[in-house]
Amino acid sequence: MIKLEHIYKYYDTGGTRLNVLDDISFSIDAGEFVAIMGPSGSGKSTLINLLGFIDRNFEGDYLFNGHEIANFEDEELSVIRNRSVGFVFQNFSLIEILTVAENVELPLLYNGAKHNETQKKVAEALARVGLADKLNQLPKQLSGGQQQRVAIARALINQPSFIIADEPTGALDTHTTEEIMQLFKQLNDEGVTIILVTHDPETVVYCDRLLKIRDGKMIEEVLQS
């Protein structure tokens, strides 16, 4: 599904050129659960912005389902992004003044659906993450783990090809971290491809494969048993 070949990424910082991704190559198949680990500043977020079609300003080849993404126009790529990838972040990124159901509905409305067409999908997505009874609550009425479940339901709502989760358990305690990782594992068993960026070795045991990066280089690839 995803194939990166010799990816280089540079940031221009006031005259100096910072090499943030340095010859990165790897593939991810549909259905995999892959963890990406590395120290702070190693280029993890840069890498997933590229994987998630947010940043196309890089060198090297990114093939998505066999198509070189450099060949797409910006608008085509943004359509691909909206259909293909769901994002989950450490800070949940929920909109505080919208209900749980409204937060989950947003990507559907953004893709042009009408409110009366979305309700079944929203209810199903929330049931899938164990929050069928929280539709009309506001985010602040929920625990951190529940808020992250809402963010996961929102990421799933367009039936994306893959989910990118950037340190999704970074703000959660150990017990809640386990619950969220079990949810990711369950979704992966149901066929959802997951790319997890993590600092926490405890979360890696749920994955099939671990990619370690340091200073923008892939230093090791470990198959989990």
**Site for ligand ADP, rule CB under 6 A:** 11, 13, 18, 20, 38, 40-46
The one of Mg ion, ligand ADP, none whose footprint includes residue 142, by CB under 5 to 8 A per kind, is: none
Whole-number Å distance between alpha carbons of 44 and 40:
8
Phi and psi of 222, rounded to 5°? -120, 125
Torsion of CA 61, 50, 54, 70, to 10 degrees: 0
Contact criterion met (CB below 8 Å) for 44 and 197 = yes
The three-class DSSP label of residue 28 is strand
Closer CB to ligand ADP, residue 24 or residue 142? 24
The one of Mg ion, ligand ADP, none whose footprint includes residue 13, by CB under 5 to 8 A per kind, is: ligand ADP
For 47, the token pair is 């890498």
Strand arrangement, sheet containing 67-68: 16-28, 2-13, 59-64, 67-68
Task: Report the nearest approach of Mg ion to the CB of residue 133 (Å).
Answer: 33
Task: Report the nearest approach of Mg ion to the CB of residue 151 (Å).
Answer: 16
Site map (CB under 5 A) of Mg ion, residues 35-54, x = contact: ---------xx---------
Task: Report the nearest approach of Mg ion to the CB of residue 93 (Å).
Answer: 14
Phi and psi of 96, rounded to 5°? -65, -30
Closer CB to Mg ion, residue 44 or residue 154? 44
Task: Report the nearest approach of ligand ADP to the CB of residue 69 (Å).
Answer: 19
Closer CB to ligand ADP, residue 20 or residue 122? 20
